Structure 1
Amino acid sequence: MTEPHDPASRWSDLERPPLDVRALRQGLIRPGGLWNTLDVVASTGSTNSDLAARARAGLAEGAVLIAEEQTAGRGRLDRRWTAPARSGLFFSVLLRPGPAVPGARLGWLPLLTGVAVATGLARAAGVDTALKWPNDLLVTVDGEERKAGGILAERAGDDAVVVGIGLNVSLRAAELPVPTAGSLALANAVSLDRDTLLRAVLRSLERWYEQWRAAEGDPALSGIQEAYAAGCATLGRTVRAELPGDRELTGEAVAIDGDGRLVLATADGARRPVGAGDIVHVRALGTP
């Protein structure tokens, strides 16, 4: 990727240098490792869409696609995700867990990714990242939990899953898409070096994924279920699940079950699991 020389270019922000593709490849791609290709593009609509198309064409597991800017990034329920160029990490990875992992356990991949991102950022950025079920990444800004990132996992053919991660790194308050959003910069991270952060997250993701796959996707045996519950900000709170068909379910979030569903203890004494595919939104009561 070449850098334009026009000082007025949107790519000329010296506080937001481009990713070092060569160094990233040297640091992440190794014989026997999960990651085997790593590409950075200046701009694209959605890294998930691009990588899914390549997956359907037969691309091998372990591909990483990163965009310096996403113009049509997507979250769950087709929500939009946009940010200034080079202000964050916007990337997708291609995983093919194989026949050893039952299809019913693939729903753990976004939760696993949340654990991996949180543990990677704790080491590299010195920031505590909480997990809002099922796929939001929260940081604390001025004593308030704010969304700084999200995860989107999508099937791409019979045996492939593309997992996309979006993370606000250097966004300033005036650049936030909504006032309630956050970034690592606003959370006082010790490092905003995107190369360092990306290496940490991808190494963490490789560790957790290989551990989970070796356990044939078993969330308890692999430690994913326990680790997710430990870092989940939703548990222990009274929440309202807004479900399709204008239905609501209110209760205390008490557990993550073996299928990755959020279990709510309702006022009638029942425990009711809510699946990520069925939920519109979960929020703490009393919040906007």
Structure 2
Amino acid sequence: MTSSQGSAGRWSDLDRPPLNALALRRALVSSDGLWTSLDVVESTGSTNSDLAARADELPEGAVLVAEEQTSGRGRLDRSWIAPARSGIFVSVLFKPSVPVHHWGWLPLLTGVAAATGLAKAAGVELSLKWPNDLLVGVGGEERKTGGILAERAGADGVVVGLGINVSLRQDELPVPAAGSLLLAGAVSTDRDTLLRAVLRSLEQWYGAWVRADGDPAASGLQEAYTTACATLGRRVRADLPGERMLEGDAVDVDGDGRLVVATEGGGTEAVAAGDIVHLRSAD
């Protein structure tokens, strides 16, 4: 893989300069920190796939960033496409020393970290849609500006990918429900600044989670996620595996990271995997 050198000759849009790989490495990679390497590539199919293929040979904390993804993937095999240098397309390799049954919290942890870091660096309030979407407000509407995909990789690793729409303009949005930090009124769309903020926040949250042996309550992660989760308190429809559908009020995120839905008749059901649609505010 060849690192992006930031050559002016490669710029197709002067409002979207390339990332400064050298400066990012100097700021983030250290012998006593989480991040052990950071590579920036001009274009690739999927940073998650590339990093997962090398998971066994790389130490924890490897970071791969792409200026453009040609086959970016979201949950449920959905595609993630955006113009070159219009967003942050990054994958990181974790090898958690915590019980495996807590690993399901990694995408939720990444969402909390990204929302926290971007709120500080971009000056935009973000909320989380369970389990893996980042939402911003655009013209009074909730819009998706980011997504997270976590995948097991190698013998003992998890690759977590994060895609964030940074400078997409209205006419560049892939679907009407999409948004970007620019459209949400960000005070900064400098991707170097935003990526540093996200990775530093991710390092802090991951460190707290590992020190708590993966316990979401003891690490403060469960409280932080429920506070930022826009799904809670909403009427939702969950499209579940096996073509089953569940509708009710989203009332909690439990200790396993599952969405707890209150159903008709006073019962509840914990949803571990599914596609969630926000219908309206709960009564």
> So what's the TM-score if we normalise by structure 1?
0.94
Specify the alignment match of 2:236 in structure 1.
Answer: 239
Are 2:5 and 2:20, in contact at CA under 8 Å, matched by a contact in 1? no
Specify the alignment match of 1:162 in structure 2.
Answer: 159
Specify the alignment match of 1:230 in structure 2.
Answer: 227
Specify the alignment match of 1:116 in structure 2.
Answer: 113
Q: How does 1:268-279 map to 2 (within 5 A)?
A: 268-276=265-273, 279=274
Identity %: 68
Q: How does 1:96-245 map to 2 (within 5 A)?
A: 96-98=95-97, 101-245=98-242
AA paired with 1:83? Answer: A
The separation in 1 between residues aligned to 2:236 and 2:12, in whole angstroms, is 44
Are 2:166 and 2:181, in contact at CA under 8 Å, matched by a contact in 1? yes
Q: Secondary structure at the match of 2:123?
A: coil
Specify the alignment match of 2:22 in structure 1.
Answer: 22
The separation in 2 between residues aligned to 1:220 and 1:3, in whole angstroms, is 42
The separation in 2 between residues aligned to 1:78 and 1:284, in whole angstroms, is 20
Specify the alignment match of 1:12 in structure 2.
Answer: 12
Are 2:135 and 2:143, in contact at CA under 8 Å, matched by a contact in 1? yes
1:62 aligns with 2:56: no
The alignment covers a number of residue pairs equal to 278
Are 2:235 and 2:280, in contact at CA under 8 Å, matched by a contact in 1? no
Alpha-carbon displacement from aligned partner over 1:111-149 (angstroms, at most 9, x marks no partner): 000000000011100011100000000000001010001
Q: Secondary structure at the match of 1:205?
A: helix
CA 1:172–1:31 in structure 2 vs 1: closer, same or farther (change >3 Å)? same
The separation in 2 between residues aligned to 1:46 and 1:112, in whole angstroms, is 21
AA paired with 2:113? Answer: A
Alpha-carbon displacement from aligned partner over 1:37-72 (angstroms, at most 9, x marks no partner): 00000000000000000103x210010000000000
AA paired with 1:227? Answer: A
CA 1:128–1:3 in structure 2 vs 1: closer, same or farther (change >3 Å)? closer
Question: Root-mean-square deviation (CA), in Å?
Answer: 1.3
Question: 1:186 offset after TM fit, Å?
Answer: 0.2
Structure 1: which 4+ aligned runs deviate by more than 3 Å?
2-6
> So what's the TM-score if we normalise by structure 2?
0.96
Specify the alignment match of 2:81 in structure 1.
Answer: 82
1:261 aligns with 2:255: no
CA 1:2–1:200 in structure 2 vs 1: closer, same or farther (change >3 Å)? closer
